[in-house]
Amino acid sequence: MNPLNFVRPNILALEPYSTARDEFKGGDISVWVDANENPYPSDVNRYPDPHHKELKRVIATLKGVKENQIFIGGAGSDEAIDLTFRIFCTPGVDNAISIAPSYGVYKVSAGINDVELREVMLADDYSLPVQALLEAADSNSKLMWLCSPNNPTGNAFSPESICSLAERFNGMVVVDEAYVDFSAYPSMLTYLDKHPNLIVLQTFSKAWGMAGLRIGMAFATSAISELYGRVKYPYNINGMTQQEIIRRISQSDMANQVSEIITQRDLMEEELKKLPAIRHVYDSDANFLLVKVDNPDEMYDYLIDSGVIVRNRTRVKGCNGCLRITIGTPDENKKILKLIQEFR
């Protein structure tokens, strides 16, 4: 399967913007007068590396992939989501398929790009409806969106089921792994070479604790990764953010924090199940729990009045009566449990 067969012809023919430094091959340069920059040093007077070479080297080592398999985007994973629609879907012609309920940006980005999004409901237990997803496709279906672990349900899908879709779907399968560090299932990154129509999204916003820096990644074959670089705007990640990400990766206590969050998640699940206001707590592979209650709007307002904000998902199809609770610090989790216990 050649993934380039699914790319819009105009994207394949696109000549990317050439930045002032793209022709520069190295040398002992002491005078930089090629990019119309302010010449007076201020730490930010020079344009950043538009290709993020140093950051890609760090990420390649961190994730066990090749540098030419990486695209780095801003706005977390949202830039990669938007560019994926732009690369593969002809507006007003092609369509994409998504599980539902799932991350709302897929639908927003599809609308912005004038692409029909065909949502296929998860099973009652939130398991992956492989056959229904395949049956939703036609000759104009270019993308299939799978969030795993899924937001807001919290559950992850097995690599076997995702690989089955990649083998049988005549388009690109995009697996959004924003929460993969909290999951018992491994990342799909190890399947990139086996399934060239696979794209894996990850982010530094969740487990890595860098939501404020807004950096996400798309991993794919080198041919597809190159297309992301061709379509993106030239300087999409500023230089200070690139360096800060590198610094934080080298100094991060991510593994210990993730371990603590998983421990707290499992504890919260068990304790919430004991409370009379809770009807069901769904199993989670993420850093949050989806919880069904009798009076979601009342409980949401009660928690707000008590200084705690959760996410009210009761109006999302498939999540009726549900609140989504992110796992906080141990003290924050104890406060939430106490408040829900006292809810009447």
- The predicted pLDDT at position 310 comes to 98
- The predicted pLDDT at position 21 comes to 80
Q: How many helices (H) and strands (E) does the chain have?
A: 11, 11
Both structure tokens of 222: 């080198």
Paired with 200 in beta bridges are 175, 219
Q: For residue 165, name the pLDDT band (cuts at 50, 70, 90).
A: very high
Backbone dihedral region for residue 245 (phi beyond 0: left; psi -120 to 50: alpha; all else: beta): alpha
Measured at the CA of 273, the angle between CA 271 and CA 277, to 5 degrees, comes to 105
Residues 6+ apart with CB under 8 A from 277: 293, 294, 299, 340, 341, 343
Question: What mean pLDDT comes out for the span 319-326?
Answer: 98
Both structure tokens of 280: 């069901």
Q: For residue 277, name the pLDDT band (cuts at 50, 70, 90).
A: very high
Residue 23 has pLDDT above 90, yes or no: no
Question: What mean pLDDT comes out for the span 31-56?
Answer: 95
Alpha-carbon distance 245 to 76, whole Å?
13
- Please tell me whether residue 93 adopts helix, strand or coil conformation: coil
Q: What percent of the chain has pLDDT over 90?
A: 96
Q: What rounded mean pLDDT belongs to the chain?
A: 97
Alpha-carbon distance 62 to 79, whole Å?
21
Residue 1 has pLDDT above 90, yes or no: no
- The predicted pLDDT at position 326 comes to 98
Question: What mean pLDDT comes out for the span 315-329?
Answer: 98
Closest CA to 150 of 121, 170, 172, 171: 121
* Chain CA centroid to CA 101, Å: 15
Residues 69 and 222 sit within 8 Å (Cβ to Cβ): yes
176-211 pLDDT, tens digit each: 999 999 999 999 999 999 999 999 999 999 999 999
216-237 pLDDT, tens digit each: 999 999 999 999 999 999 999 9
Closest CA to 243 of 81, 60, 43, 67: 43
Q: For residue 344, name the pLDDT band (cuts at 50, 70, 90).
A: confident
135-154 pLDDT, tens digit each: 999 999 999 999 999 999 99
- The predicted pLDDT at position 194 comes to 97
Percent helix / strand / coil, the chain, rounded to 5: 40, 15, 45
* H or E element in which residue 340 lies: helix 330-342
Residue 275 has pLDDT above 90, yes or no: yes
Paired with 82 in beta bridges are none
Residue 65 has pLDDT above 80, yes or no: yes
Both structure tokens of 145: 């969106």
Query: What are phi and psi for residue 58, nearest 5 degrees?
Result: -65, -45
- The predicted pLDDT at position 282 comes to 98
Residue 25 has pLDDT above 80, yes or no: no
